Structure 1
């Protein structure tokens, strides 16, 4: 056998080895720049979903047929743009005649919020993080890391909404919505260091490390409304103050 025949099988191996050396020598590193907003997306979803739930309980139909101006100067909410626009949409969707100028309206509607915020709670079953003081001379103090068996956090938002209307000319009260309350929540669960298992009204189901877990029949029914698809239907609130509609004939133009 000739020398050329013996060398030919070795050439592909030599080329492969040379290619690997070139790739190893040219290996680099990359990075992704990440930024964060001053408010988390979860907080914003919690608050706006709680507001939408409360607003969906208000029946604006007693205001139909009369030019109305929405007075929002007394409305206090961190998401005032969303709050104001959703109020206008809900009123228009139920047939209310809105006017851009107060002078062109007969009735003035004033909304107000008694609550618009979030709370959170945590539960830990395991060993919490703790500092260990120096007990032996020459040995520094240290700390024991948190060792959770079960760790659960729950963040929820609540909104309290009330509206009333009065006649612009006489100043008399003509309508009162009563008080409605909306709520939403977000839950995170870690078991034995695994997680998070996420659920809550803002998610429309349950997720494990970002992967959807098949929803139950009840969650499946609620998901379209919680995700904001379509119009929000009117329903009687679970917690509500007494609504009042006065005799509107006394305030309509003759």
Structure 2
């Protein structure tokens, strides 16, 4: 089988890095999204990816293109069902505006405007199961499915965020003949982000807290170890994904500590 991979969410924050690393490793990379358009960035690897239209909830729009893929990656998720947080996280630092945006996001989506396909259940669980079934229908030889899960619940984020990821892991693990790999990264940052990018500032704060915890307490208190977790880079996650894909004996959960090695 050729080194070819399909990525759903390839134009997203982590998905872009998965595409970039895959191209660097010699993979034929196909990214599926509803727009079918590449991200607006001026980097050489972008032109080497096949950007294709596909609605993950409508397998007929993409399933034929899954045949022959050595792996499929599900890199679609929601931190909050109100997606206003995305604009804030990817912008440059503006303290008052960012607090207002975060507070608005935590209120959740307007019930009158809430789309049943824009929920934790739909995006993080149901879409993964739909995609896995479509892949299994098309690819009979060593199908490998990578699901981007999470290390643990993020403070102040609704329980539905982590619950639906764990439910997806369970559903996928029950798929006969599917080699499932569950990546559990922590808070993510991109090493090339500008210093005043909100996401970079936040992850630096998280990393500082983790370093202070290690200096003062080490790893001796389990409760604190679970509460204070280190960030990891998109590069670390993407590199580990391809290492696991190429290790035919690898399957199951890949914990944060392993991702960061």
What TM-score, normalized to structure 2?
Answer: 0.27
Higher strand share: 1
Higher helix share: 2
What TM-score, normalized to structure 1?
Answer: 0.27
